[in-house]
Amino acid sequence: MPAARAEQLLLILIVEAAIGYPAALYARIGHPVSWVGRLIAGADERWNRGGETRRRAMGIALLLLLLLLAGGVGWAIGRIVGDGPGMVLIILIGTAGLAQRSLHDHVAAVLRPLAKGDVLAARDAVAMIVGRDTDALDEAGVSVAAIESLAESFCDGIAAPAFWFLVAGLPGLFACKAINTADSLVGHKDARHRAFGWASARADDLVNLIPARIAGLLICLAGAGGFCTMLRDAGRHASPNGGWPEAAMAGAIGRRLGGPVRYDGAPAERAWLGMGPPPGPADLASALAIYRRACLLIWLLVGGMAWLR
């Protein structure tokens, strides 16, 4: 791993936290993740047909296409830009692959009305960041949904892309984001996507294998606790990776996460993570503070790598 990548990543993290992805730019051209999403949606519509064997083969083809495009674009940018002043462009482009600021802002948008007792507005805000049904969620349900999304997205949106940037630069970061987007769109176990999304789901499991455990450890360190809960409950989660940051957050705030939810009107049973009462607005505020400190820990780790050069 070239030490120069650590310096670049530290600047990417700082710039992204400061400015995020500008709203004016999003309104004009969208976001790279949305571009990938449109490609995946088009492939889902055109390729996800026929028998299970064909669907699985076309899902593998989609994954390979995404890796080729994402990795190729990242490699081409690096070759064109080169070293020196062009690194500024690498840093600016790299901010699009991280979500420190946007994740914080989305979860804070849930906390503000929830802290005022406006559950209806909090439901609308949390519906922007979770896939479960939110219409019937009470204060605790909204808090659980927001805290779980915050913890899991700390891995998916920050720890994982940062890790893969350190490993492989922009190609690694872009490939990580493409795989994560594919998993979120087609990596489901429903009848339509079970075969077509199989490759994307397995690739996402692999990409997040190490980052998820790093994310859980950082949350425990930032929260000054939660290690025992993480080690005990992470394996109860349906995802091989999602349980690490979520169980860590449950332990760090001393509250119970998980439990049954509904997706598209259908009930879904989930394991409980952590012990104690269900969380409320104060616990969501604590989770956000832990998240900020965990992001700072990433800065310190990356800064240490750069300094060791």
Domain that holds residue 30: 3-308
Task: Output the six-digit token pair for 151.
Answer: 């913890």
Contacts of 68 (CB under 8 A, 6+ apart): none
Nearest Cα to Cα of residue 160 among 179, 176, 178: 176
E-strand stretches of 88-150: none
Residue with tokens 């600047």: 11
Nearest Cα to Cα of residue 154 among 65, 214, 74, 70: 214
Largest CA distance in the chain: 55
Based on the number of CB atoms within 10 Å of its own CB, is 2 exposed (0-12), middle (13-18) or buried (19 or more)?
A: exposed
Q: Which helix (H) or strand (E) holds 257?
A: strand 257-258
Nearest Cα to Cα of residue 55 among 210, 190, 174, 145: 190
**Strand pairing category for 272-273 and 257-258:** antiparallel
Print pLDDT tens along the chain (309 aa).
Answer: 566 899 999 999 999 999 988 888 878 888 889 999 999 999 999 999 999 999 999 999 999 999 999 999 999 998 888 776 778 888 999 999 999 999 999 999 999 999 999 999 999 999 999 989 999 999 999 999 999 999 999 999 999 999 999 999 999 999 999 999 999 999 988 889 999 999 999 999 999 999 999 999 999 999 999 999 999 999 999 999 999 999 999 999 999 999 999 988 889 899 999 999 999 999 999 999 999 999 999 999 999 998 886
Number of structural domains found in the chain = 1
